[in-house]
Structures are given as C-alpha cells and as structure tokens.
Amino acid sequence: MCGIVGYIGPKDCSDVLVSALTKLEYRGYDSAGIAVFENDAIKTVKTQGKLKDLEDKLKSVGKPQGHVGIGHTRWATHGEPSDINSHPHSGARVTIVHNGIIENYIELKEFLISKGREFLSETDTEVVAQLLDYKYNGNPLETIDSVMAELKGSFALGIMFKDFPDRVFAVRRESPLIVGVAEGECFIASDVPAILKYTKNYYLLEHDEIATLTKDGVNFVDEHLDPIEKELKTADWDMEAAEKSGYPHFMIKEINEQPDAIRTTIMPRIKEGLPCLEECGITLEKIKNFKNITIVACGTAMHAGMVGKYVIEDLARVPVNVDIASEFRYRNPIINEGDLVIIISQSGETADSLAAMRLAKQKGAKTLAIVNAKGSSIAREADMLIYTLAGPEIAVASTKAYITQLSVMYLFAFELALAKETLSEPECKRLVSALIKMPEAVSFVIKNCEEKCKYIATKLITSESLLYIGRGLDYALSMEGSLKLKEVSYIHSESYAAGELKHGTISLIDNEMPVISVATQTDIIPKTISNIVEVKSRGAKIILVCTDVCARGLKDGVADYVIEIPHTDELLMPITAVVPLQMLAYYTAINKGNDPDKPRNLAKSVTVE
C-alpha cells in the first residue's frame, strides 16, 4: 500500500515524479505530494485526493523546478486524509516520504516534544522526519543509521537533506523499495511499474540497507555503514505490459490475459507429459515424506489455497490445513519439523504472510512460496519457490494472479501425488494433458460468456446483498467469487457451503436477494440443485454457473439465469468456472459507476498488519 518514488537526473523532476506515481495508483491512496530541490531549497506541494488533484494544485501554486526530488501517494493510517497529513513531511533540514507503520512513534513523539519539537500532523511519518532532523550531525548516513536503530515497525523511506541538494537517500525495513538506474539518472520506487517508462534496470534494497543516489549512480551501505555490492536486475516485462492496451480498465485486460498467463506459468514446468518442478527446488525425493501441509495466505491467495487443499487431499491423501495468515501468527499453530508450510502471495511482500513464513521456519517446517513478484521478500526467504508467471497485475482485484496460483497448486498436487505413489504415471499424464488444455478452455469461456455476464450484471446493481453457494471445489470457488464482487461493486456478499444453508443463513433469503450458485462437480450436483430449489422457493433470484452437461439436465425454472461453461476434467473446473464470476464482478462495478481498478479503501499490496 502507498507508493514512494524519487528521482535525480536531467529531466524535469516534478514531471517524472507525478508520472511515476500514476503507475503506483493501483496500490491504493487518498492523498499525494512531491518535494523537489528548487534553488537549493526544498519546495513541497501536497494535497488530499487523487493525483489529478495534485496536478491541479501544481498548476495553481506553481510546479517546483528542479532535478532532484521525492514523491508519495499516501494511504491514511495515522491521521485522517488531509493536506496536512499528506506526505512529504519535513523537519527543519530533512524532508521524507514513508511507507509502512512506525510502531513506537508515540514514545518517540513524546520524547521529541519534551525536547521542544512541535508537530503539524497526526502522522507517524512526521515523527521520523523530526527525529532525523533532531539527530542530524551533518552526516546523512550516520544520521539515518542512528534513527533506524530507534525505529520499530516496517518502513521504506525516501529522504532529502537540505544541505545535500545533489542526492536522495533511501532505506527500507520490511516495506518494499527498489532503486532504478539509467544513464545519468537514478530512481527509487515501491514497485517496478513506476520506473519502466525510464529504465528496466534496478536493484532490490534489502532490510536496513541505505542507498545514496546521485546523477552519477548509486552506492549502498549496510547497517554498519560498510559498502556493499549488489546485483543489478532487469525487469522481464516492459511498459506495454503495464498499460491498458486499448481496454477500458486493467481488470478486464487482466481477465483476458488469463489464458496466456496460465500457459506461461505451466508449460516450462512440464516435461514429457509430467510435472517437473526441479527448477523450483522441488523433487519427488524432497517432498515424498511430508505428512502434514499447511497453506497460509490472505484474501484471494487464501482462496487459491482452499482449492489446493481439496486437490492435494484428493490426489495425494495428505491432510492440508488452510490458514489466514493473520490468524496463523497469533494462535500458536501446531507446526513441527517435517511439515510443509505453503505461503501464497501475489506481491511476495504481504506482511502477515511473510511473518507467518518466518514463524513456520522457526518451528522447523520447510516452506514453499508461491508468488508473482520476483525478488520479493517471501520469494527470497522460502526454502522452495514457484513463481506464478502472470506478469504485472495492476488492478487491485486479483484475477490472473489467482488463476496462475491455481495452476501452480495443480502442478504441485500432481507432483506430490506422484511422490506419494497415490497417483499413477498414466493418470498423472492424463491430468497434466487436461491442464495444458485449460488456456483454450478459459479463452472459450471469456468469448462465449461475456455478453451474458454483462446482462446479468445489470440485474445485480440494485441489490443490497448477495449470497454465493456451492459444494466442495465449487464452495472454494464461490468464496473467491463473493470476494471479487464485494471488492469492486461494494455490494455486500458472502459465500456459504450450500449444505449449511439450513443452519442459519437461509433466514436471510427473500425476493430481494440474488443467489449465485456454482455447480460443476457431477457427483454432488443433485445436492446443490436441491439447495438451489430451497432458496428459490423463498423468493431468491438464482444465477447458476454450471457445466453444459449440468445445464442440459436442469428442469425448467430451477434457475433464473444460467451461465454455461464447457465440461472439462472436474478436478480442474475451478480454473474455468472462476472466469464468469470475475466478469460478473467487473461488469456489476462498471454498471454502478465504480472504478474496478481502484476500489475504495483497498490496496494491492498489504505490507503492514
């Protein structure tokens, strides 16, 4: 959440900062600001609202003229959204931008007040700025290092010192930050899209490392202020991949990119018709002795884990527990040596998931990370790693990252079942062959279901509440459908195991409530249909997502609207069945006039608890 940028070089700094911040809007924010060295003074312009509001203010008060500066899009944590609480924040000689949370800011603020310091904002960030200014001894690196020793929490900082107008400093702990480099110019940013317009080359800043940026390059020191060498990385996707390419929104673009994302993710991991995860550090010998598996994740990634649980238990006969990362950390989980803990995270920086992985490692478990962001914290610290090769996902509501997480879970489940000898090689090849056909099946669903989803979405926009139901894999999938709808349409919805309706939830059903049911598992479709009849008899409007085989057997009047998808191997049905649920959410948001790429109160990467 939030976005940091910084620039030093020959270009107009204000323009570069605002342009870079637009590429981080997907992270979520409610205010924005920049600070630029202008004639050896630091000029700051900031405002509550969106970047358009900042641009309007820059036109009104005058754009800072200079070549060195920092910028920020803030998501309010300490202090309400306001011009004063917006970043950047300053002491007399120091100006900073900050992502993260300073956990001990109250005691630090009280100390600074006792020393005569006055505060303008309610933020924890201003405390850091004032502390840097209070401790400043003329040496920026020594001052930053001294302040870091007193800070508790997570942070990424872009820092400018008034008497060093030719450089920008950066440091991080937990919160992500990269340093981009090009000829004669350097950048800092929270994520790669911010710099792709200017360079694809960047360094990953590690915990408690300090970077000094000048027009001639960048230098790094560790927490002891000793110089360090770092590996220069190159982004493997370009600016075009991070643009809308003619689509009205990133969300629908990314829905349409799902076939290619699945194909790119699975094909390098298949050899001679079987899963091959050796390049991920996974071999049959290494995984065959795992007796217990825990999947830990948040939000959409947790829903991918729920599908993974069903598939792993079905094929490999290994018990799997799925935990929300924030709950896992605080319940003294039973994890032992010899267990496997799978961490799923799109960003690889999700704070609760990262902490959960570290806890699992402390308890002696082996860890497997499934992430989309190369070089992220979770990716670097896991014992085994599978990248989902979805490319950049800009929309806050995840679509193609989720579907590639599913694809990876299937490959891992197949491999584990082979290792456990609960799945024969011919049967595994059959399943892998079916998985290879999924991109084509997803393309078919997008092409043939979109118009119906558009139409049905017009029937949902006046609803105050919805219910999603399903059984087995369909229930796991309905959880993701419900989340997607509430994320972007702001309509309350919940998912429920269809067989549990009589245990309370059916009391909510009336003729104002639509019910979206998923029915793709042949052996339990009659049970699901009976649950649909129950809610239908109480006035609910039924939207049924089902296979074409199921649709042919439906009695008239069972459902008000039916979205048919092609029948494939039933174990793999979540991959195709999620697509109409994504499109229903997208078009409902559009019909309500919402921006599906930037849903209110949400951020793409949750890097604080």
Beta carbons of 358 and 342 less than 8 angstroms apart: no
Which residue has 């915990």 as its token pair? 207
Q: Going along 408-521, which residue ranges are E strands?
A: 465-470, 492-497, 514-519
- DSSP character at residue 528: H
pLDDT at 239: 63
Q: Which residues are catalytic?
A: 2, 604
For the chain, which domains are there?
3-242 (3.60.20.10), 247-436 (3.40.50.10490), 442-594 (3.40.50.10490)
Our CA angle for 340, 345, 348, nearest 5°, is 105
pLDDT at residue 1 is higher than 60: no
Beta carbons of 344 and 304 less than 8 angstroms apart: yes
Query: How high is the mean pLDDT of the chain?
Result: 90
Average pLDDT over residues 383-406: 92
pLDDT at 416: 96
Average pLDDT over residues 554-563: 85
Residues in CB range of 13: below 8 A, 6 or more apart:
7, 36, 37, 64, 66, 67, 68, 69
Tell me how many helices (H) and strands (E) the chain has. Answer: 19, 27
pLDDT at 449: 95
In sequence order, the β-bridge partners of residue 101 are: 154
pLDDT at 371: 94
pLDDT band at 608 (very low <50, low <70, confident <90, very high): low
Q: What are phi and psi of 81, to 5 degrees?
A: -60, 125
Q: Which of 567, 527, 576 is nearest to 549 (CA)?
A: 567
pLDDT at 238: 66
pLDDT at residue 224 is higher than 90: yes
Average pLDDT over residues 424-439: 97
| H or E element, residue 295 | strand 293-297
- DSSP character at residue 316: H
Residues in CB range of 261: below 8 A, 6 or more apart:
388, 389, 390, 391, 400, 403, 404
Six-digit token string for 242: 């991070």
pLDDT at 607: 52
- Cβ count within 10 A of residue 179: 25
pLDDT digits (tens, 9 = 90+) for 459-498: 999 999 999 999 999 999 999 999 999 999 999 999 988 8
pLDDT at residue 84 is higher than 90: no
What are the distances in angstroms from CA 125 to CA 72, 87, 213, 607? 12, 8, 21, 16
pTM: 0.78
Beta carbons of 432 and 274 less than 8 angstroms apart: yes
pLDDT digits (tens, 9 = 90+) for 142-164: 999 999 999 998 889 999 999 99
| H or E element, residue 327 | helix 325-328
Q: Going along 174-256, which residue ranges are E strands?
A: 178-182, 185-189, 201-204, 210-214, 217-221, 227-228, 233-234
pLDDT digits (tens, 9 = 90+) for 239-285: 666 677 788 999 999 999 999 999 999 999 999 999 999 989 899 99
Residues in CB range of 428: below 8 A, 6 or more apart:
274, 275, 414, 417, 418
pLDDT at residue 347 is higher than 60: yes
pLDDT at residue 225 is higher than 70: yes
